[in-house]
Amino acid sequence: MNSLRADISDYLELRRSLGFKLKKDGQLLPDFATFVEQRHAAHITAKLAVQWAQQPAFIGANYQAARLRIVRSFARYRILTDPRTEIPATDLLPRQPSTFRPYIFSEEDIKRVLAACLQRRRSAKPISRWTRYAIFGLLSVTGMRVGEALNLDMEDVDLDNGVLTIRNAKFGKDRLVPVHATTCEALKIYRQQRNEFLADKAVKPFFISPLGRRVTNGVLDLSFMRMTRKLGLRGATDAKGPRLHDLRHTMAVEVLRRCYEEGADPERRLPALSTYLGHTDLVYTYWYLHQNPSLMKEAVGRLEHRWEAAT
């Protein structure tokens, strides 16, 4: 029988070869192995898995459920080499229903955010505001994930043909994102500003920081939080509020809303929207229909209209 740690290594290698990134699994499974070893356990049991998943005591129910899911998935692999392995039941530490509602930006909100990006700050270099403006603008019109935008390299941005290449996205896949001519023009302006700032020095990332490096998610999030607080979109001391990722939600909701306004059937366009957003399953795209009150109102109104027409 292989050692627990050897099986963890083999399991991660196998699943990563199938395209899964497993960043959290790679961090947490070795910790689970240490937990098992410290208790001198001969094999994985459901009780051990639950005890580990509930640590530390202050973590929320959904994080506990996520930790247990990681062990459950590995246990299904481990049982092949150790038949004594217990696979934790799916009803142990169940995930709690989410009450999360994304912030849907109005057109005026987005205009204010973009205008704020260009405001001069005494100690900041111009490239900072140009980069923020270009990134926030791109996210608002394409619905790209933040990490996808930040990972763009110069070779991935084809503005002559209006296509961005997203490499090794969330589920390990590449995809092409067509962009509108007006977006191309805005990105061409940024590219010129960027190249002039770098004095035409060859730098791989498309979006750069004042140090000429790739912009990090943490720095961008902090900048966005400060900006939305200044604009009154969140409280002065409120950590909760609009997130950069909500620009993605806003774009998807706006596309579906326009379908209703044009009298088109949103469900017919969901496959195309799903592909554009990089979803691996249509169920993730359907989420926008069910989680946005205004879209639900439109859907109910359309159903009522069909019912009246039928009667």
Residues with a catalytic annotation lie at: 145, 170, 245, 248, 279, 288
Q: Is 102 helix (H, G, I), strand (E, B) or coil?
A: coil
Q: How far is CA 65 from the centre of its chain?
A: 20
Q: In angstroms, rounded to a whole number, what is the distance separating the alpha carbons of residues 236 and 226?
A: 9
Backbone angles phi, psi at 166, to 5 degrees: -95, 120
Q: Is 157 helix (H, G, I), strand (E, B) or coil?
A: strand
DSSP states of 176-234 as a string? EEE--HHHHHHHHHHHHHHHHHTTT---SBSSB-TTSSBPPHHHHHHHHHHHHHHTTSS
Describe the crossing of helices 61-78 and 46-53 by its angle, rounded to 10 degrees: 150
- Of 237, 215, 231, 243, the closest CA to residue 129 belongs to 215
Q: In angstroms, rounded to a whole number, what is the distance separating the alpha carbons of residues 134 and 210?
A: 14
157 has which bridge partners? Answer: 164
Number of H-type helices and E-type strands within the chain: 13, 3
